[in-house]
A and B are shown apart, each in its own frame.
Chain A
């Protein structure tokens, strides 16, 4: 029997994620991939995987999986801070743990942050689609959202080097997003641009893998009319008709017709992935 993970508790929204699929945006294919990319890379490193191996990304409530068909496998839970147990007994968060065959590894509900990452030696190896094993929730490409009872195949593990304690970034108390103005900042009034970079926003409950939505003052446009559809980059801050800026995350649509006032550099988006609803958000002007 080939090694795999049996999903005991899928949690609110758990998906398989790797680096995502780039090079297909011109066909309308979103990038997908783990929202907290540094957490995904670190988790993989700790279990001896290549940084682009596929891991599990949980949302808020964690998940639990049972190992089957392998003598044992090295695993780690990182990203969002949470209680971690192995067959019900506490084990350290953020530190590799040996999971024996038949044992259940559980990431509990997130205490700090939003999305925990579970990496397993050998990585998850569901069938890739367009070169990636990432689930894309906008278009439905890649492996489906986990459900209880699912079985996910694991790849062959590599020797796992020993690691000392490693630093994991914490979830942001305040999400500071450096904003590069454009391409459509001229569609907004000067007052709106001042508001964007000075006002207090909060992470909305309606945020998801497609975008981090905000609550706060609406931004007024300086011109009416429709913007003909144009390409959108990861981190684009789009302003829909309700005026509340929305930061596009990995499952964002590839083209869109609402003006993009600015772009948050990719490096700042890992913190956005861990910002729970209600977290204060500040947009600051990035130095070019």
Chain B
């Protein structure tokens, strides 16, 4: 049984800290199940992080003591369809990522498109998912000098994460490609608004350079 730490985040919120991203995902899934079953009175936000889950709007003062005693079933992978995202692997940092990975540049798309990702958490901008799935030895550092403008749709890596920029912004992630249909990432008029919500499984599919 691994340790669950419950930290206060003000009078009405709890930050649950787990030992790993995997455990945080499993705990998040359990929270969603319990809320769907009518539990977690008052909780209006359940926000997963890299190794944490934030519960905002907690009314039950005994919850902090009870959370560490929960039985958390292991994460059930493989349920439902993976979201497929066509991308073009032609980013300016392909060579740098290949160097860090110790492979030929042509191998980067093959490895990346051969990986099943999962949205660990969101943030930075609406519709931006932090995707995990690459093995630990394929972590890449952020660029030493961030770019002042990363275009919308940029497919990029940093640390253990992959992400697609939903709109132009400054950014320090290593860009390995682009998603031509970037508008599909985020549409507040659609239900669900985000293509990549927490827990979603994702595969990138290499498309022709003409996209």
Contact = CB atoms under 8 A, between A and B. Distances in A.
A binds B: yes
Interface of A: 22-29, 129-130, 139-141, 180-184, 228-233, 235-236, 253-256, 260, 262-266, 286, 288
Nearest to B121: A255
Nearest to B52: A230
A28 B121 CA distance: 9
A230 B10 contact: no
Q: Which of A141, A231, A264 has the most CB of B within 10 A?
A: A231
Contacts of B194: 27-28
B197 interface: yes
- Main SS of chain A's interface residues? loop
Interface of B: 7-13, 15, 17, 44-54, 56, 121-128, 130, 167, 188, 193-194, 197-198
B35 to A, nearest CB: 11
Nearest to A29: B126
A265 B8 CA distance: 12
B46 A26 contact: yes
Contacts of A25: 45, 47, 54, 56
B9 A236 contact: yes
A26 B48 contact: yes
Q: Which of A23, A139, A235 has the most CB of B within 10 A?
A: A139
A228 B12 CA distance: 22
A230 B188 contact: no
Contacts of A27: 122, 126-127, 193-194, 197
A182 B124 contact: no
Q: Which of A25, A26, A260 has the most CB of B within 10 A?
A: A26
Nearest to A267: B11
Nearest to A255: B123
Contact of B45 (A22, A130, A229, A235): A22
Given A26-B198, A231-B54, A254-B47, A183 B7 contact: yes
25 contacts: A22-B44, A26-B46, A26-B121, A28-B122, A28-B128, A139-B126, A180-B11, A181-B8, A182-B7, A183-B7, A228-B49, A228-B52, A229-B121, A230-B15, A230-B50, A230-B52, A231-B54, A231-B56, A232-B54, A254-B123, A256-B123, A263-B11, A265-B10, A265-B12, A286-B11
